[in-house]
Structure 1
């Protein structure tokens, strides 16, 4: 009876040992296949909770990165438009200087007037450009056109200003400005009325109005200042983008340390476990062939 009990106990322990080794082998094999050492929450409850936090942070980071990318694109587009406006306004200033020359023929004055009108149309078109969302680059609080021309070519501007764009961590940036801020002056004059007055004087053969020329110069300075301001905002957004990327990289390092298996170490452990399992199975197979085991069966 004692022999039966001892043999049965040995058989049970051997079977349990092989099952444990087989489970360990299967787990290591899965780790090699998936590259993950954390396969279930029960493996490491604290680590699993940390992974959940990292996952939420990554999801927020993806949204923040998308917002930053949109802000960068909008700022770059606005800067490019302002740069083109600047070129046209410089040309307008050159034309005004030519127009002040008393030796110009009527034909030359008419040509200058026509080119100035074309410059105004071009600037207005640039001011009415839209960003990637289809919103006015230099509009107001609504989706209305940024600039429209009224009577006498005076410019009308959208009301208010566009909402700031969120870029993460409670931060936001004003990626655009209202066209009124750079195409109109503090005394109520604007580029449209100034060029209209200059054109009218050229066609009438009269002296160019100095206040209109001053308005043109002021608007050109404001466009340059606005371009510089948006450039500074773009630099800030670029810095924030770099910080987001660094934070994402740091989170990936943390995630890998918690979740990823070391390929070399895992393969070594897998081979070692397989060797022990095979040896145990071989020993059990040899012992089970003894007459006592046969007797028990």
Structure 2
């Protein structure tokens, strides 16, 4: 079989060009640590990498939200513990005030402490969170509760704040409104009241003096219901915090899986790349040597 001189040169030149390109690519992969530098190298892998990077960016945002939600729930739990302590003390004072051995002066002294507890509860209700916003804020209103000049307290708004997104299709309510914590206490008449009204009414009765048995019974029932409600909210806070721990754990596992996929698609296997580079350079060197030797033969010189 005869091989034309030009065909020999073309084939050999093409082979050396391809080998040079391969060694250049391998050198780049080794130097950068990345297998892919352009979409044209592997369109499917590049698209997959883009999806992984987008998911990683999304998860970074969700992680920030999760951290915020955890912080808010921890602050809520701590604040609700203080609220529960104040309500317990108010209940103790109410039972004491209902003792028949006390006179009006004694009860007015108790009323003074109950006023202090009421003020403390207002301050706790208006606690600011890490963002400077009301911890027990509502969908409407800028303050959790508002205390008027007459000492009467009203809820600053109604409705719950939107839940915080912590994952694809996953949200967590990181806060509870003052209405949920302090309001909607059922009364014997079938209506609703709040812990501030319960205390304010009882303080008024104590200051007025006389028979307080009915007022004491109403206050005791209301404070017991308030304590139960706060306990329920605090239990819900704990459950949501536990859920966030699960969300965080799942996010960590997903991030590890994405990183494994990214590494396989994008990162250079240095050991394999170096071995392949040495192989390609050996072939290139041999090809160049063969080409140089063959091209110098007199037959090729003659054929040209």
Quickly name the TM-score band, shorter chain normalised. 0.7 to 0.9
TM-score computed with the length of structure 2 as normaliser: 0.81
Give the 3-state SS of the residue equivalent to 1:172 in structure 2: strand
TM-score scaled to structure 1, two decimals?
0.83
For 1:197, the equivalent position in structure 2 comes to 201
Deviations 1:118-140 (A, max 9, x none): 22222211211233444322222
Bigger CA drift: 156-165 or 197-206?
197-206
Counterparts of 1:226 and 1:188 in 2: how far apart (Å)? 17
Number of the residue aligned with 1:244: 251
Aligned 8 A contact 1:194 1:213 in 2: no
Across the two proteins, how many residue pairs are aligned to each other?
A: 294
Q: Which moved more, 1:276-285 or 1:165-174?
A: 276-285
Match in the other structure for 1:95: 93
The whole-number CA distance in structure 2 between the counterparts of 1:206 and 1:246 is 66
Structure-2 residue corresponding to 1:33: 31
1:231-284 per-residue CA deviation (whole Å, 9 max, x = no partner) reads 222222332232233222222222222222222111211222233334444555
Which segments of 5 or more consecutive residues in structure 2 lack a partner in the other structure? none
Counterpart in 1 of 2:159?
A: 160
Aligned to 1:61: 59
Structure 1: segments with no counterpart, 5+ residues: none
- Note the aligned Cα RMSD (angstroms): 3.2
Distance 1:165 1:18, change over 3 A: same
Does residue 175 of structure 1 match 2:177? Answer: no
Q: 1:270 aligns with which of 262, 265, 277?
A: 277
Equivalent residue for 1:46, pick from 34, 38, 44: 44
- Distance in 2 (CA, whole Å) between partners of 1:99 and 1:42 is 84
Larger mean CA deviation between 206-215 and 280-289 belongs to 280-289
Q: CA deviation at 1:226?
A: 0.9
Q: Is the 8 A contact 1:154 1:190 kept in 2?
A: no
Q: Tell me whether 237-246 or 274-283 shows the greater mean CA deviation.
A: 274-283
Q: 1:120-269 maps to which residues of 2 (within 5 A)?
A: 120-150=118-148, 153-157=151-155, 158-184=157-183, 185-186=185-186, 187-206=191-210, 208=212, 209-210=215-216, 211-269=218-276
Mapped pair 1:24 → 2:28 = no
Q: Distance in 1 between matches of 2:274 and 2:116?
A: 73
